């Protein structure tokens, strides 16, 4: 476990906060290391308009891992619609059932259609005008070699009650991502909190179907002690004009573990000029 000698890091956590933080982190690690977790990513292939052959042969437009047959089939992209045809003799499953080909539902329409080829799982993702195939393998090297994530010691000083200022009218927040594009996401207001006598503000977004506030933030520990592109934090929705920002539950985005993730980045106003010495630290060299 990491730590800091800076006295401003605050008082040690009460036993209940230490226990709840440990339980939260154990659950987070379980999700990360699950058979379909982020550590299983082994490929992300952006489709061109028209036919995109796929299989392990290097001549395919979509080159799968070596465990796949040389030629499996073809993804056909027509605008935002993707369908798949399968080579004779190849066997695929979709959502656990035999699949003979057809149109695939992407992740923007809810849970995507997941195709299975041996131990590989793959599905369509849409990011702006880009459409790709995400490939997962439960035997991925990142999952097999995972060695845990260091965290700062839980601190009661970093569990903050913030004032929530609702937006005067429906608004969106421009959220950049690692692909170099920007997504407009609903943002219901601003969390305003005080740290060491100074006031700071963070704008959350709300993901489709979620009942949580999602904070994408950066701070002065990035690149040295924590992941350079910032961290994530979820909170409950405001109650009586307040929201609890428990930075002990700040965690690394998927891009800290895989080059095949498409993570959002902190909006400019969410880059805090202070050191948030709480939550997850860097993983490996990331």
d(CA 178, CA 105): 24
Burial status of residue 75 (CB atoms within 10 A of its CB: 0-12, 13-18, 19 or more): buried
CB 215, CB 202: distance < 8 Å:
yes
Token digits of residue 74: 């073809």
Q: Are residues 173 and 237 in the same domain?
A: yes
Q: What's the confidence (pLDDT) of residue 284?
A: 75
Query: What length does the chain have?
Result: 286
Q: What's the confidence (pLDDT) of residue 10?
A: 43
Token digits of residue 92: 């695929």
Token digits of residue 15: 């036993």
Q: What is the CATH number of the domain that holds 42?
A: 2.60.200.20
Q: What's the confidence (pLDDT) of residue 108?
A: 87
d(CA 283, CA 276): 17
d(CA 19, CA 14): 9
9 falls within a domain: no
12 falls within a domain: no
Q: Are residues 181 and 238 in the same domain?
A: yes
Q: What is the 3-state secondary structure (H, E, C) of 146-197?
A: CCCCCECCCEHHHEEEEEEEECCCCCEEEEEECCCCEEEEECCEEEEEEECC
Residue ranges of the chain with per-residue pLDDT less than 70:
1-15, 285-286
200 falls within a domain: yes
Strands 242-246 and 81-86: unpaired
- Choosing from 144, 173, 191, the residue where a domain stops is 144
31 falls within a domain: no
19 falls within a domain: no
277 falls within a domain: no
Strands 189-195 and 198-202: antiparallel
Token pair 């933080």 in the structure block, residue: 21
- Choosing from 99, 116, 144, the residue where a domain stops is 144
Four-point Cα dihedral 268, 273, 277, 278, nearest 10: -30
CB 227, CB 151: distance < 8 Å:
no
Q: Are residues 46 and 132 in the same domain?
A: yes
Element (H, E) at 233: strand 231-236
- Choosing from 126, 144, 162, the residue where a domain stops is 144
Q: Are residues 210 and 245 in the same domain?
A: yes
DSSP state of 239: B
Q: Are residues 210 and 127 in the same domain?
A: no
Range of the domain at 106: 38-144
Q: Are residues 111 and 175 in the same domain?
A: no
16 falls within a domain: no
Q: What's the confidence (pLDDT) of residue 110?
A: 84
Q: Total domain count for the chain?
A: 2
CB 194, CB 200: distance < 8 Å:
yes
Which residue, 247, 184, 180, is CA-closest to 215? 247
d(CA 216, CA 229): 10
Q: What's the confidence (pLDDT) of residue 15?
A: 67
Q: Which residues of 137-180 form beta strands (DSSP E)? A: 159-166, 172-176
Q: Are residues 184 and 253 in the same domain?
A: yes
Backbone phi and psi for residue 130, each to the nearest 5 degrees, phi listed first = -95, 135
Q: What's the confidence (pLDDT) of residue 4?
A: 31
Which residue, 254, 257, 40, 264, is CA-closest to 135? 40
Q: Are residues 131 and 159 in the same domain?
A: no
Q: Are residues 99 and 180 in the same domain?
A: no
286 falls within a domain: no
Q: What's the confidence (pLDDT) of residue 102?
A: 96
Q: Are residues 182 and 255 in the same domain?
A: yes
Q: Are residues 90 and 131 in the same domain?
A: yes
Token pair 């045809």 in the structure block, residue: 85
Backbone phi and psi for residue 93, each to the nearest 5 degrees, phi listed first = -125, 150
Which residue, 195, 204, 282, 187, is CA-closest to 243? 204
Q: Are residues 50 and 85 in the same domain?
A: yes
């Amino acid at each position: 476990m990491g730590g800091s000698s800076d006295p401003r890091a605050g008082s040690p956590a009460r036993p209940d906060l230490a226990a709840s933080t440990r339980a939260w982190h154990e659950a987070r690690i379980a999700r990360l290391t699950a058979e379909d977790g982020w550590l299983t990513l082994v490929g992300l292939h952006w489709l061109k308009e028209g036919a995109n052959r796929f299989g392990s042969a290097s001549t395919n437009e979509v080159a799968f891992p070596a465990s796949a047959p040389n030629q499996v089939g073809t993804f056909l992209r027509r605008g935002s619609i993707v369908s798949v045809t399968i080579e004779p003799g190849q066997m695929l499953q979709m959502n656990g059932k035999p699949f003979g080909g057809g149109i695939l539902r992407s992740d923007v329409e809810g849970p995507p259609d997941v195709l299975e080829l041996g131990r590989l799982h793959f599905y369509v993702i849409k990011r702006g005008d880009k459409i790709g195939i995400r490939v997962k393998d439960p035997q991925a090297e990142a999952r097999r070699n995972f060695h845990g994530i260091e965290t700062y010691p839980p601190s009661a000083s970093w569990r903050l009650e913030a004032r929530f200022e609702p937006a005067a009218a429906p608004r969106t927040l421009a959220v950049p991502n690692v692909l170099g594009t920007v997504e407009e996401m609903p943002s219901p207001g601003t969390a305003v909190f005080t740290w060491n006598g100074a006031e700071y503000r963070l704008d959350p977004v709300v993901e489709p179907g979620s009942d949580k506030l999602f904070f994408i933030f950066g701070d002065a520990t990035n690149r040295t002690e924590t992941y350079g592109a910032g961290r994530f934090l979820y909170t409950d929705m405001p109650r009586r004009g307040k929201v609890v920002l428990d930075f002990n539950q700040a965690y690394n985005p998927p891009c800290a573990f895989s080059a095949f993730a498409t993570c959002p980045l902190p909006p400019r106003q969410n880059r805090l000029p202070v050191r948030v010495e709480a939550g997850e630290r860097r993983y490996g060299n990331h």
